[in-house]
């Protein structure tokens, strides 16, 4: 089993739709969790950290489920500009982040 | 946030030549930097961990003699792809961590012809 697993997609959704991605991790000692966004041929950029209590930033909501070892990202009211690859990142404490393969999102008019 | 600068952003080289990629932390000191490689439609794969003042730690399957890493100062790590082959063509990216957040260089797209 891979350390961090994501459905690669693509998720193809119309503008205004709500879409959710999940990411599972295998290391129960993982301490920090993040969602990064990567546009084509660009470096990944932090979208949001994922806290145990869950967190929300505008149209984006991240949740952590330690018992089932997964994190989720919910995007409401999708915009065309949300089209990108969303990377799940897990850090087990040594600060060598482990990346998921990424989930591709395509938002169409 | 912290700034990591990577250079060059794009390079095309001939088979058999060597290519050096630089990664600089501009506004913080990084005792550790990470080098990743990403093939199309694949995830970022950690190649090696660069440690200032000591030898780099390579991930399994990464040839240390082919991918030379030098981390001579707290703000600069370099990755040299030696005797490059077309299969080395990829997107290489460095990162450094600050307070558990990863900051990335802009990435280098290497094409070996």
Q: Which residue has the higher pLDDT, A72 or A90?
A: A72
Task: Report the C-alpha gap between B50 and B44 in whole angstroms.
Answer: 16
**For chain B, which residues score pLDDT lower than 70?**
1, 99-100
* Model confidence at A81: pLDDT above 70: yes
What is the band of A94 on the pLDDT scale with cuts at 50, 70, 90?
Answer: low
Half-sphere exposure of B77 (CA within 13 A, CB side): 31
The C-alpha angle with vertex A87 and arms to A84 and A90, in degrees rounded to 5, equals 165
Q: Which residues contact B74 (CB under 8 A, 6 or more apart)?
A: B25, B29, B30, B31, B52
**Bridging pattern class, strands B108-112 and B10-13:** parallel
Return the DSSP state at A77: S
| Tokens read off for B19 | 């290519």
Confidence of residue A1 (pLDDT cuts 50, 70, 90): low
Please report the residues numbered 48 through 77 in chain A whose beta carbons come closer than 8 angstroms to any beta carbon of chain B.
Answer: 49
In this structure, of A20-24, A41-45, A84-88, the range with the lowest mean pLDDT score is A41-45
- In terms of Cβ atoms closer than 10 Å to its own Cβ (0-12, 13-18, 19+), residue B89 is middle
Q: Which of B6, B43, B93 lies at the smallest CB-CB distance from A100?
A: B43
Q: A93 to chain B: nearest residue by CA? A: B100
| Exposure letters A59-69 (e unless 16+ CB within 10 A, then b) | ebbbbbeeeee
Selecting from A31, A95, A99 the residue whose C-beta is nearest the C-beta of B97 gives A95
């Amino acid at each position: 089993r891979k350390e961090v697993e994501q459905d690669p997609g693509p998720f193809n959704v119309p503008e205004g739709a709500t879409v959710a991605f999940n990411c599972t991790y295998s290391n129960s000692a993982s301490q920090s969790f993040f969602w990064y966004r990567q546009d084509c041929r660009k470096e990944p950029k932090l979208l949001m950290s994922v806290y145990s209590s869950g967190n929300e930033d505008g149209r984006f909501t991240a949740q952590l489920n330690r018992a089932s070892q997964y994190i989720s990202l919910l995007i409401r009211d999708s915009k065309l500009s949300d089209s990108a690859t969303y990377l799940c990142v897990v850090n087990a404490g040594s600060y060598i982040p482990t990346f998921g393969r990424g989930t591709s999102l395509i938002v169409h008019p | 946030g912290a700034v990591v600068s990577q250079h060059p952003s794009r390079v095309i080289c001939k088979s058999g030549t060597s290519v050096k990629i630089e990664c600089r932390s501009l506004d913080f000191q990084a005792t550790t930097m990470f080098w990743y490689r990403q093939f199309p439609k694949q995830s970022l794969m950690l190649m090696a961990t660069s440690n200032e003042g000591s030898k780099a730690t390579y991930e399994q399957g990464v040839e240390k003699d082919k991918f030379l890493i030098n981390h001579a100062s707290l703000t600069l790590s370099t990755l040299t792809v030696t005797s490059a082959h077309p299969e080395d063509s990829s997107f290489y990216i460095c990162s450094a961590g600050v307070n558990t957040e990863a900051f990335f260089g802009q990435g280098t797209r290497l094409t070996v012809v």
